[in-house]
Amino acid sequence: MAEPLYRLPSRSEIIELAIEEGHDADIPTNAGSIHPRPHHSPHPHPHNHSHNHKTSDAQKSSSAVFGKDIEKGPRPESLSSEDDAEDAEAEATEDSDPNIVWWDGPDDPQNPLNWRYVKKWGTVILVSAITFLTPLASSSFAPGVPKVMETFHSNNDMLEGFMVSVYVLGFAFGPLIIAPLSEMFGRLWLYHCCNVFFIVFSIAAAVASNMGMFIAFRFLMGCFGGAPLVLGGGTIADLISREQRGTAMVVWMMGPTIGPCVGPIVGGFLIEAKGWRWNFWLVAILAGAFMIMSLILMNETYAPVILARKTARLRKETGNLKLRSKLDSGLSPRDLFIFSIIRPTKMLTQSTICFAISLYVAITYSYLYILFTTFTAVFTNQYGWHGGVLGLSFLGLGIGSLVGQLVFTHFSNATVAKHIARGDFKPEHRLYMMTIGGFFLPVGLFWYGWSVQAQAHYMVPIVGTGVMGFGLLMTFMPANTYLVDVFTIHAASAMAASTVLRSLCAAFIPLSSQKMYAAMGYGWGNSLLGFVALLLIPIPFLFIKYGEAIRARSTVKL
């Protein structure tokens, strides 16, 4: 059953692939794991999890990782040739084992990397469309908030903001469950199930009869709507070769970047024409269309699950119970859930770097949702905007975010390439762009707040929000890449920790924004946020100077 491995992936490639798939690198990627596979019993089964109390070999292998300080490990670019030689030797040993099930050669049609061009890129486009829709739904009904409040006979300022931000609260909890489930059952099953529940709760929100029901359904929409954000990067990594992956990832990332800003523009005119409930009907209709397309066009892309099914089929056909998939991790559901939940928690509480960077991102991300929850009231009260035109108030934020992403992608890659060529690259070089972005955020807040307070021409505050959007992306993107470079093998857990904290802050901090503006006015209210943003500016500078020393002294054990 074994086939020679036609190209041994390097350790750095496996780590990079694990990051894109959304899990730590000690869980097998499509190319294998950075650790040798655990020894299996003579009667393995990909999904057979015994209930004995003995420590499994997989757990022993994992415990070796837990005992290491995760901030002191070597980076992928600096991994020694001895490490790759050891991995190659382990791979060669496995390839000589006739009971190892792998692809049937480099052109095996079951391998998603070998699918037809149209099928691969069709899947990428479909996943990108779904990933665009679910973040769009987070804010698309924001212009209709006053009408929702009127429908449910409420004048509670906190609920007015919470009905928008509660969606992102679902982004904090849904992925913690979705990620380990995808590693057990594959991506396709999770896409279909989450799409179905997303449609169900979108319809439920459309027909909600009271505020409590509406907020609960919005939260559940967020929980299941987070699936493409968790699974999309992995799907692209399953299908597209490393050389072509950058383009696909940029297309996919457009969804979470500009979706929340485009949503209110579309929603504003729709709500004016058909009412706020139709915003959710439209989301459900589009999600239903994507669901039908995914049922027809999508297939499982996650190699460990494909090979597990192949192994089960071959066992049945040959009667050889010793057959085992090359990518079978031997980890139980309990192990996977522990990795998904406990590791991010420990990182957030034990790592100075992870906590400080995540806090910076969380506060700046909460500013985004302060704008989402207050734009309608601000432009209604100060400029007399009503109806569909209210959605246009989000335009500056969207354009600024898009420009920020493009500028970061270009200059960050150039900076990193320069240092790698010199041979002196370290993770802190990722933060140079963050030092620039940090200044744009308070400038945008002061600009927006005082221009609204003075009722300057409406383009003035909209340009101010564009400056804010640029600053947000120029802090958010470098922070993420820095966490990836610092934690490498456990980058997915670091990213999960950051996601949970920023989602919690984005859900709850905006609740007091209306009262803040009522008490302080738009000028001083936004200035208060700007002063907090100014206090955060030194963080990337401090890590550029002391980050390496902090990592050398830090003790973070999972």
Over the stretch 382-397, which tens digit does the pLDDT of each residue have?
999 987 888 889 999 9
Residue of 488 and 306 predicted with greater confidence = 306
Which whole number is the average pLDDT over 351-378? 91
442 has a pLDDT exceeding 60: yes
Say what the pLDDT of residue 171 is: 86
**Model confidence band, residue 68 (pLDDT cutoffs 50, 70, 90):** very low
Say what the pLDDT of residue 532 is: 94
80: left (phi over 0), alpha (psi -120 to 50) or beta: beta
87 has a pLDDT exceeding 60: no
492 has a pLDDT exceeding 90: no
Which whole number is the average pLDDT over 502-507? 90
**Model confidence band, residue 378 (pLDDT cutoffs 50, 70, 90):** very high
Residue of 263 and 61 predicted with greater confidence = 263
**Model confidence band, residue 30 (pLDDT cutoffs 50, 70, 90):** low
**Cα 323 from Cα 330, distance rounded (Å):** 13
Tens of pLDDT, residue by residue over 402-418, are 899 888 888 887 888 88
* DSSP conformation class of 111: S
**Across the strands, what pairs with 325?**
101
**Cα 415 from Cα 424, distance rounded (Å):** 12
Which whole number is the average pLDDT over 63-71? 44
Tell me the average pLDDT of the chain: 82
Helix axes 245-274, 395-422, angle to 10 degrees: 170
Tens of pLDDT, residue by residue over 244-255, are 777 787 788 888
82 has a pLDDT exceeding 50: no
Tens of pLDDT, residue by residue over 141-195, are 888 898 999 999 988 888 888 999 999 999 888 888 888 888 788 889 999 999 9
Q: Which amino acid is at 198?
A: F
Pairing of strands 100-101, 324-325: parallel
The tokens for 192 are 């279909």
Q: What value, to the nearest 5°, has the Cα angle with vertex 452 and ends 448 and 456?
A: 105
Say what the pLDDT of residue 79 is: 36
Complete DSSP assignment for 22-64: TS-TTS-BTTB-SSPPPP--SS--TT------SPPHHHHHHHH
Which whole number is the average pLDDT over 124-137? 91
**Model confidence band, residue 472 (pLDDT cutoffs 50, 70, 90):** very high
User: Could you give the domains of the chain?
Assistant: 113-302 (1.20.1250.20), 332-558 (1.20.1250.20)
